[in-house]
Amino acid sequence: MAFAGGGKFKMLYDARQRPQSVYMQGRLFIVYNGDAAPSKSGKGSAHPMLISYDPQSRTFSRPERLGPSRSDHHYSPIIWADKEKHLHVLHGCHKTPGKHLISERPVQKGSLRITWHEGPRIAPKLSYPTVFRISDDRELIYYRTDGHTSSWTYRISDDNGKTWHGPDHDVTDLDSKGRLDWSSYQTKLPSKDGRYLHVVYTDYDDNKTSPDPQRFFNPRYHTRASNEWKYNLSYVKVNLENGEVSNTGGRVLKTPIDIGYSKTHCEIWDTEWRGAGVPPAVALDENDNPAFLHVLSEDSLSDHQYYYVRRVDNEWQQTPITHSSHNWNSCYLSRDTNNTLHAFVVVGEGYLEGGYMDRHGGGRIEEWVSDDKGNHWTKRREVSPNSQQYAGWRFNNVQPVVRPDGSTVDGMLLYYGWKNEDAPEATAFLLHE
């Protein structure tokens, strides 16, 4: 079901910035960037928006603007609910504190109109914020502290978002003396008991200071690349009770982790100059261990494959699933109660190249499944609409619908799509089976 229009690039965000939905008191609340108008740059200026959905009547409320229009797509809103059933929205975050809104009253069944007040500032600067409910009904926000080469860290609230406190040291800060400009993109997921946070990241040289053009040379493909290409996979596990950060082998690490230390102690896959754009989607296996769905270049920088990455007998293994149409296709990985794995991937014929809306990928959304712990995969179905009405459309950033505790709602997915490669005219969709 299409539920919102006037969307620009990343109308619904990729895996770095979540959640954008919360299902509570019998109603689904969704936030997104919408009501965009063309700007001088042509990229569009969009508003942070809220809409709600009644799954019984399968109807949506009227959308509500939560703030002024902005041209920065990073300002996309996220939403969560605290243990007292107050909604929280955070928007306008990109090297800024953003705007934190809290509902005046707890959400009641049948709530259609939310009154907001401004909540406390969470941190001086945030980029790519993601919020989770963790142990003891606390909220955790994980984020980048400033620009590309800045650190990644987290803060925790145990009083429904009134105050936030963080660890003594940030988790990662990849740039270091003698190796400046190193950066990462990160995704994360709590353990089932909420006492640990699994963090996976790609690394890359952002090359802001060196005049040497060879800093971006990719020896695998014998060509210059750009900072759009992120390499390797690294993993750490954060103990949210004492702040310790450990690697796959359980070794407690020095923090913040820089690039040299990361390669020695945290890297789980040297991709040998095969690159990605977006970092992996994360799920938990049957033993509460993390597994990843990662897109990676293959024979060239315009040829890509999805991989299922997991640890088997103390070794990290990678199994190919199917092709991808872009290095920035952001996907979703889940495991059901029968231990069947579900990978919702974005595919297409060849490599997607086009204008502003296409530059971070897009294509058809397909569901692939595995009944043998990820060793073999088969296509189950196409998820995105394929009617004549949507002929020629591209879709991306498929993501789950979640409850306040972070558990996913079966049979519901969010994604967005567009046809015009340059205009801010995207549409947001809800799959409700």
218, 275 contact by CB (below 8 A)? yes
pLDDT band at 209 (very low <50, low <70, confident <90, very high): confident
The pTM of this model reads 0.97
pLDDT > 90? residue 44? no
Q: How far apart are CA 43 and CA 37, in angstroms?
A: 9
Q: How far apart are CA 420 and CA 432, in angstroms?
A: 26
Tokens of residue 303, six digits:
């040829």
pLDDT band at 96 (very low <50, low <70, confident <90, very high): very high
- The string of pLDDT tens digits covering residues 328-367 is 999 999 999 999 999 999 999 999 998 999 999 999 999 9
pLDDT band at 411 (very low <50, low <70, confident <90, very high): very high
- The string of pLDDT tens digits covering residues 268-319 is 999 999 999 999 999 999 899 999 999 999 999 999 999 999 999 999 999 9
pLDDT for residue 261: 97
**Count: domains in the chain:** 1
Q: Stretch 170-191: mean pLDDT, rounded?
A: 93
Q: Stretch 128-155: mean pLDDT, rounded?
A: 97
Identify the weakest region by mean pLDDT among 224-228, 379-383, 401-405.
224-228
429, 2 contact by CB (below 8 A)? yes
238, 199 contact by CB (below 8 A)? yes
Q: Stretch 17-26: mean pLDDT, rounded?
A: 97
Q: Which burial class, exposed, middle or buried, applies to 313 when counting CB atoms under 10 A from its CB (0-12, 13-18, 19+)?
A: exposed
pLDDT > 90? residue 323? yes
pLDDT for residue 158: 97
Find, among 69, 64, 17, the residue nearest to 43 by Cα. 69
Share of the chain above pLDDT 90, in %: 92
Provide the residue type at 97 as one letter: P
pLDDT for residue 110: 82
pLDDT for residue 213: 77
User: Which CATH number do you get for residue 421?
Assistant: 2.120.10.10
User: What is the span of the domain harbouring residue 419?
Assistant: 2-432
C-alpha separations of 407 from 72, 205, 334, 335 in Å? 30, 35, 11, 12
pLDDT for residue 111: 78
pLDDT band at 105 (very low <50, low <70, confident <90, very high): very high
pLDDT for residue 179: 80
pLDDT for residue 43: 78
Looking at the DSSP assignment, which residues form a beta bridge with residue 48? 33
pLDDT for residue 178: 77
pLDDT > 90? residue 161? yes
pLDDT for residue 4: 97
pLDDT for residue 102: 98
Identify the weakest region by mean pLDDT among 67-81, 116-130, 208-222, 279-293.
208-222
Note the residue count of the chain: 433
